Amino acid sequence: MILVKPSFEIKSMMGGDFPDDSPLEIIEKAGRTCYKSEGLTTENSAENFVKMITKRGHESVIEHSALTIKFVIDRGVSHELVRHRLCAFSQESTRYCNYKGGVTFVIPLWLKDLGEGKYHSSFKPTETLSNATWLWLRSMLAAERCYTELFGLGWSPQQARSVLPNSTKTEIVVTANLREWRHIFKLRCSKAAHPQMREIMIPLLERCKELIPIIFDDINIAGE
């Protein structure tokens, strides 16, 4: 059994028709079509233009650029993520992926006394592990054991997956336009969001603020 923490990787950021176009520049080019103000475009005008349209609530214009993110999260979080309908999803399939060589689980955020790495069925609890952590760890070891033993009884991956818990690691690639990412961040970084969702989305929001200023700068993290 392998335990990991959640992570993300930005796979691509959609610009414009030319290699040197940034997301803000393609948004400006599209938006100025509405006003026939292409002649006002300068080398540094994109940021002010995009700031203006977002302030006015003309967010349809920012749909002309998109981000593709690869997440490593648990199945429970992925079930919430795929509820966002204006996205493209490609997710690791438990129907076809065979984990009998070892199942990977994502460590819950609140288990502070557990580290990443390989754990075997012979693992014994230490004084540093709380009773709750040890109970979760035993449950994951038991799930992996049952999953593996079912293969020996002739079950296929799509059958054996029925014993895998929400903590099972999954990889999912998500593509959405920038307007939809704004919507996702507003929901998934709020206090009402699941702690494990906030764990992955807040760092992603901060990274997006660095990569694409103006688009995400006005989204404040709840409680901060």
Question: Which residue among 64, 79, 94 closes a domain?
Answer: 64
Are 103 and 178 members of one domain?
yes
Are 114 and 158 members of one domain?
yes
Q: Which of 32, 161, 182, 188 is the catalytic position?
A: 188
Question: Which residue among 32, 48, 64 closes a domain?
Answer: 64
Are 104 and 181 members of one domain?
yes
Structure tokens at 56: 């006015």
Are 181 and 98 members of one domain?
yes
Q: Is 188 annotated in the active site?
A: yes
Residue pLDDT, tens place only, 94-150: 999 999 889 999 999 999 999 999 998 888 877 789 999 999 999 999 999 999 999
Are 191 and 93 members of one domain?
yes
Query: What's the domain range around 83?
Result: 1-16+65-224
Question: Total domain count for the chain?
Answer: 2
Identify the helix (H) or strand (E) that includes residue 221: none
Residue pLDDT, tens place only, 39-58: 888 888 988 899 898 888 88
Question: DSSP string of 53-108?
Answer: HHHTT-GGGGGG-EEEEEEEEEHHHHHHHTT-SSSEEEE--TTT---TT--EEEPP
